[in-house]
């Protein structure tokens, strides 16, 4: 008997025993059986079957997800649609509470934006995206269909834990898959809370257990076990360079939503007020935790002062060079470089995603309570330009020409091919930058989030597959295209 069938049978036995009021384990321990009835009908799942998708052990989670995948297959498109409806409705109705819980656990970002990100889940594409492609001709008809992989192993970041897992579930289940998550350890309690709630509702509504599972205490070992599981057919990782590298070495197909360091170029044809408000909106969002968020600005020398003065008028506070020095020393640690004599900077985690007031204190400056963002002039080699710093501060670098700006922007982007932004009304400048940086998202005359449907055309995802090239992930990303051919018949003319 295969492992899948064993799990399936155990689940069915569990469910039947649960309904008739027996302990959920198929082989209850005598001590449990003799306990007085506490009214819960002993329906707490055994560790082996997980508690509404929350597992201690990665291989058990993968096994349970494999059994759920088979059930989802039987439930057809209607079951997938129901799961998506549940996730979208619950993300919206719990947005305020889950946003608060995620912020309390991670201590990074802003409550208003944590809530807004969860409210955005309802816009994520579902089964409607999977339209089969038909071909018809003298030799009959052929249909190409989007079919599931099975179980997907997914890794989520600390920066948007519940939003990423919720969006992943919508896309992955739309394509018919089950999923097992290994969340970031510093955002794993809130992730498990959402998974438990989703599974409770899924089980209640369509009778499928453990469709989206999670490892309660994620570790590198549970990541390795997830990657090694025979049930996991595909990996989807959302995070920085370390996890992208690890996933690519896992020996399975991996969809990698990797790091960014998005540069912004502002030329002398741009509307300065629009450029300034867009930069502030994007870079201040969730205290600059977005991978697509503006991280450094290259401004033509002749408009740099005007741009910075517009930034000051619109909620950003400028630091002088002494204040910048103090902030830099606090926000980075410097260790001996590998040759060349320059020290290497690494970001001080205590400042990631913190409020502008925390940065201002380190810089030694008093700021108004409604300050969105801090900024200062730097050169192009400054750690705030080079490192993906994820804090509500943005460096502004003067450049003499658009060409120089494009070269510096490309260097700062590190060839991550993630996101770049230009403010310009010159189509040749736009084209030159788009071609040179070769990024997955390229936004013109708007804040970064316009690239994900917020203020620009398009749809949302919290996993933008950059090094592996799938782009803004959607249900098709998680589907196998299979072809079904009828030879010489069924064409109606």
Rounded Cα distance between 13 and 47, Å, is 15
466 binds ligand NAD (CB under 6 A): yes
Strand boundaries in 108-231, DSSP class E? 133-137, 140-148, 151-155, 178-182, 212-215
Rounded Cα distance between 132 and 141, Å, is 13
22, 463, 468, 477: residue in contact with ligand NAD (rule CB under 6 A): 463
184 binds ligand NAD (CB under 6 A): yes
Rounded Cα distance between 117 and 449, Å, is 11
350 binds ligand NAD (CB under 6 A): no
- Name the pairing type of β-strands 263-266 and 471-472: unpaired
353 binds ligand NAD (CB under 6 A): no
Please report, for residues 29, 160, 222, 283, 385, the alpha-carbon distance to residue 289 in angstroms, rounded to integers and kept in the order given: 48, 8, 26, 8, 15
Please report, for residues 19, 56, 283, the alpha-carbon distance to residue 49 in angstroms, rounded to integers and kept in the order given: 16, 10, 43
Q: Which positions from 379 through 398 interact with ligand NAD, judged by CB under 6 A?
A: 388
125 binds ligand NAD (CB under 6 A): no
Rounded Cα distance between 70 and 61, Å, is 15
Rounded Cα distance between 273 and 275, Å, is 5
Comparing CB distances to ligand NAD, the nearer of 216 and 388 is 388
75, 163, 239, 383: residue in contact with ligand NAD (rule CB under 6 A): 239
238 binds ligand NAD (CB under 6 A): yes
How many other C-beta atoms can be found within 10 angstroms of the C-beta atom of residue 240? 17
53, 125, 157, 167: residue in contact with ligand NAD (rule CB under 6 A): 157
| DSSP helix/strand/coil, 93 | helix
243 binds ligand NAD (CB under 6 A): yes
Closest CA to 112 of 369, 286, 257: 286
Q: Shortest gap between Cβ of 461 and ligand NAD (angstroms)? A: 7
Binding span for ligand NAD by CB under 6 A among 38-46, 178-186, 267-275, 397-405:
178-186
Comparing CB distances to ligand NAD, the nearer of 242 and 469 is 242
Binding span for ligand NAD by CB under 6 A among 28-36, 51-59, 269-277, 461-469:
461-469
Q: Shortest gap between Cβ of 171 and ligand NAD (angstroms)? A: 12
Comparing CB distances to ligand NAD, the nearer of 277 and 463 is 463
294 binds ligand NAD (CB under 6 A): no
155, 197, 397, 402: residue in contact with ligand NAD (rule CB under 6 A): 155
Binding span for ligand NAD by CB under 6 A among 32-40, 124-132, 254-262, 326-334:
254-262
DSSP 375-413: EEE--TTSHHHHS---SSEEEEEEESSHHHHHHHHHHHH
Rounded Cα distance between 411 and 418, Å, is 13
Binding span for ligand NAD by CB under 6 A among 72-80, 154-162, 273-281, 317-325:
154-162
Rounded Cα distance between 145 and 425, Å, is 42
Binding span for ligand NAD by CB under 6 A among 127-135, 143-151, 232-240, 330-338:
232-240
Chain position carrying tokens 């394509």: 175
Binding span for ligand NAD by CB under 6 A among 21-29, 84-92, 239-247, 483-491:
239-247
351 binds ligand NAD (CB under 6 A): no
Q: Which residues bind ligand NAD (CB under 6 A)?
A: 155-159, 182-185, 220, 223, 238-240, 242-243, 246, 257-260, 291, 388, 462-464, 466
């Amino acid at each position: 008997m295969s492992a899948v069938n064993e799990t399936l049978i155990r689940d069915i036995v569990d469910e039947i025993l649960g309904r008739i009021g027996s302990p959920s384990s198929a082989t209850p321990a005598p001590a449990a059986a003799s306990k007085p009835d506490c009214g819960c009908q002993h329906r707490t799942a055994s560790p082996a079957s997980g508690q509404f998708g929350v597992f201690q052990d990665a291989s058990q989670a993968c096994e349970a997800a494999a059994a759920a995948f088979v059930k989802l297959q039987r439930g057809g498109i209607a079951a997938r649609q129901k799961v998506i409806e549940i996730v979208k409705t619950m993300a919206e109705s719990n947005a305020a509470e889950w946003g608060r819980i995620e912020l309390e656990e991670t201590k990074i970002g802003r409550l208003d934006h944590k809530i807004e990100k969860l409210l955005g889940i309802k816009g994520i594409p579902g089964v409607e995206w999977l339209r089969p492609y038909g071909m018809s001709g003298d030799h009959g008809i052929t249909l190409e269909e989007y079919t599931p992989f099975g179980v997907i192993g997914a890794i989520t970041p600390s920066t948007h834990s519940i939003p990423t897992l919720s969006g992943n579930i919508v896309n992955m289940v739309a394509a018919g898959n089950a999923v097992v998550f290994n969340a970031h350890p510093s955002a794993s309690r809130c992730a498990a809370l959402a998974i438990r709630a989703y599974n409770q509702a899924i089980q209640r509504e369509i009778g499928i257990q453990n469709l989206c599972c999670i490892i309660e205490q994620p570790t590198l070992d549970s990541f390795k076990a997830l990657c090694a599981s025979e049930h996991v057919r595909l990996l989807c990782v959302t995070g920085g360079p370390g996890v992208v590298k690890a996933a690519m070495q896992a020996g399975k197909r991996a969809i990698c939503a990797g790091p960014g360091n998005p540069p912004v170029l502002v030329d002398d044809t741009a509307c300065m007020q629009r450029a300034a408000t867009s930069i502030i909106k994007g870079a201040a969002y969730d205290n600059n935790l977005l991978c697509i968020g503006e991280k450094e600005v290259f401004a033509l020398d002749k408009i740099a002062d005007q741009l910075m003065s517009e930034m000051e008028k619109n909620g950003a506070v400028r630091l002088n060079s002494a204040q910048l020095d103090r902030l830099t020393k606090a926000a980075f640690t410097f260790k001996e470089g590998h040759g060349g004599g320059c020290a290497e900077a690494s970001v001080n985690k205590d400042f990631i995603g913190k409020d502008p007031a925390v940065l201002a204190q380190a810089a030694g400056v008093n700021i108004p309570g409604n300050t969105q963002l801090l900024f200062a002039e730097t050169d192009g080699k400054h750690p705030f330009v080079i490192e993906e710093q994820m804090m509500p501060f943005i460096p502004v670098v003067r450049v003499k020409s658009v060409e120089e700006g494009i070269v510096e922007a490309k260097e700062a982007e590190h060839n991550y091919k993630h996101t770049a932004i230009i403010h310009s009304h010159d189509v040749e400048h736009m084209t030159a930058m788009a071609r040179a940086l070769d990024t997955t998202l390229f936004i013109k005359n708007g804040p970064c989030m316009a690239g994900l449907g917020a203020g620009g055309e398009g749809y949302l995802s919290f996993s933008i597959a950059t090094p592996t090239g799938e782009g803004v992930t959607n249900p098709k990303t998680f589907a196998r295209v299979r072809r079904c051919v009828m030879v010489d018949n069924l064409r109606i003319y």
